[in-house]
């Protein structure tokens, strides 16, 4: 990338410029040179942020340079002690990595997908080198900034390949954490970040399943949540309970009796436990209570010789 300009110069600070151009990489070396024919009649100072390196006959020629930290528009500027016509030029030079010009490969990019995980979930991370790994491969050291995300200690890029993948696993956290993963090879490192959030409720089971009770009886239910990190938790007291047929059974959401179903009619109803968007359900069947006959309170001598129970109407004289 280069720029040049020929114009009358002024004595204002940075009043002489090469004209601007835009760089595309951070850390470019910006080299500027200006020519004038005033010789020893004046001097040329480097522009703001630049360092003067060489000069010829004070104002005949001056060079300067500076490192541009962030890519973007840039121009070489100079300050003339004597206003005169000039020709100024600028060139930007990109720093050579250790993976170019015959050196070994170094990491150029590290990315994890997805970049946001819940506890127990995994991401596939890819490290890319500046050039193909040599015979025997290149071993890249890996490091996580927190136990909230575990990564292997290293990954090997195969010979003649420029990339390798590894798995990052989210640990258990109570609040969201941003974790930095670093890949290092040849003394050069590159990083990426992964956000780890608390385990999410994945599913819910309601027990007992498909219960049957008699009319006027009650049934206690329990809700068990399964989370993305593989853990389970009793959610009976924190979920919202409902019955699809209130004419068959109702279910309590009152503190101390959550999940207790009371039958009010015969038939079937679906009992559901809900937590945010996760639900679990089962069927409850209510049947009429069976007729029970006992003989313990029947009058004496009501059983005949054939063993049949007979009821007698006694006349009072």
Which CATH number fits the domain that encloses residue 27?
2.60.120
% pLDDT > 70, the chain:
88
Place of tokens 């020519």: 35
Is pLDDT of 299 > 70?
no
Bridge partners, 223 (sequence order): 206
Q: Are residues 211 and 282 in the same domain?
A: yes
Q: Are residues 85 and 166 in the same domain?
A: no
Query: By the 8 A CB rule, do 9 and 80 touch?
Result: yes
Tokens of 267: 């038939």
> What digits encode the pLDDT tens for the residues 85-129?
899 999 998 765 444 445 689 999 999 999 999 888 899 999 999
Q: Is residue 248 part of a domain?
A: yes
Domain boundary among 165, 181, 197: 197
Residues 26, 110: Cα–Cα separation, whole Å:
17
**Total structural domains within the chain:** 3
Q: Which of 3-17, 28-42, 145-159 has the highest mean predicted lDDT (pLDDT)?
A: 145-159
Q: Is residue 304 part of a domain?
A: no
Q: Are residues 121 and 179 in the same domain?
A: yes
Query: By the 8 A CB rule, do 99 and 106 touch?
Result: yes
Identify whether 114 is preceded by a cis peptide bond (ω within 30 of 0).
yes
Domain boundary among 69, 93, 117: 93
Provide the Cα torsion 70, 177, 155, 110; round to 10°: -30
Cβ-based neighbours of 225, under 8 Å, separated by 6 or more: 201, 203, 204, 232, 233, 234, 235, 275, 278
Three-state secondary structure call for residue 302: coil
Q: Are residues 189 and 270 in the same domain?
A: no
Quick one: average pLDDT of 253-278?
A: 96
Identify whether 208 is preceded by a cis peptide bond (ω within 30 of 0).
yes
Quick one: average pLDDT of 204-223?
A: 96
Q: State the first-to-last Cα distance of the chain, in angstroms, to the nearest integer.
A: 131
Residues 193, 177: Cα–Cα separation, whole Å:
10
Give the largest Cα separation in the chain, rounded: 157
Q: Are residues 206 and 189 in the same domain?
A: no
Provide the Cα torsion 2, 3, 4, 9; round to 10°: -130
Q: Give the pLDDT score at 39.
A: 72
Q: Is residue 36 part of a domain?
A: yes
Quick one: average pLDDT of 219-228?
A: 94
Query: By the 8 A CB rule, do 194 and 168 touch?
Result: yes
Q: Give the pLDDT score at 155.
A: 97
Which CATH number fits the domain that encloses residue 252?
2.60.40.1080
Q: Are residues 249 and 222 in the same domain?
A: yes
Residues 184, 154: Cα–Cα separation, whole Å:
9
Q: Are residues 40 and 119 in the same domain?
A: no
Q: Is residue 99 part of a domain?
A: no
Residues 31, 22: Cα–Cα separation, whole Å:
14
Q: Are residues 67 and 80 in the same domain?
A: yes
Q: Is residue 281 part of a domain?
A: yes
Domain of 20 in residue numbering reads as 2-93
Q: Is residue 80 part of a domain?
A: yes
> What digits encode the pLDDT tens for the residues 46-88?
999 999 988 888 888 899 999 888 888 999 999 998 888 899 9
Domain boundary among 38, 58, 93: 93
How many Cα atoms within 13 Å fall on the side-chain side of residue 51? 6
Which CATH number fits the domain that encloses residue 140?
2.60.40.10
Is pLDDT of 40 > 70?
yes
Query: By the 8 A CB rule, do 118 and 197 touch?
Result: yes
Confidence grade of residue 304 (pLDDT, cut at 50, 70, 90):
low
Bridge partners, 282 (sequence order): 271
């Amino acid at each position: 990338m280069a720029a040049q300009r020929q114009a009358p110069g002024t004595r204002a600070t940075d009043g002489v410029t090469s004209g601007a151009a835009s760089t595309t990489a951070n850390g470019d070396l910006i080299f500027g040179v200006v020519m004038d024919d005033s010789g020893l009649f004046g001097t040329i100072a480097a522009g703001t942020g630049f360092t003067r390196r060489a000069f010829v006959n004070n104002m005949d020629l001056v060079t300067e340079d500076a490192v541009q930290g962030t890519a973007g528009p840039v121009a070489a500027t100079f300050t003339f002690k004597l206003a005169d016509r000039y020709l100024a030029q600028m060139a930007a030079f990109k720093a050579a990595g250790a993976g170019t010009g015959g050196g070994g490969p170094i990491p150029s990019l590290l990315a994890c997908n997805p970049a946001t995980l819940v506890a127990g979930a995994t991401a596939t991370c890819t490290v890319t080198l500046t050039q193909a790994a040599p015979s025997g491969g290149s071993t890249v050291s890996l490091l996580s900034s927190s136990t909230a995300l575990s990564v292997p200690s290293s990954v090997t890029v195969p010979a003649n390949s420029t990339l390798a993948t590894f798995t990052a696993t989210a640990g258990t956290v109570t609040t969201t954490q941003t974790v930095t993963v670093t890949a290092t090879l040849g003394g050069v490192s590159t990083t990426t970040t992964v956000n780890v959030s608390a385990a999410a409720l994945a599913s819910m089971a309601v027990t007992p399943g498909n219960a049957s009770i008699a009319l006027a009886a009650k049934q206690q239910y329990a809700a068990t949540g399964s989370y993305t990190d593989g853990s389970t938790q009793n959610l009976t007291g924190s979920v919202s309970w409902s019955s699809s047929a209130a004419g068959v059974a109702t279910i309590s959401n009152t503190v101390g009796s959550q999940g207790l179903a009371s039958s009010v009619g015969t038939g079937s109803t679906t009992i559901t436990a809900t937590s945010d968007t996760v639900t679990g359900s089962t069927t409850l069947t209510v049947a009429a209570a069976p007729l029970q006959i006992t003989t313990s309170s029947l009058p004496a001598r009501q059983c005949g010789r054939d063993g049949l129970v007979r009821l007698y109407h006694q006349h009072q004289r």
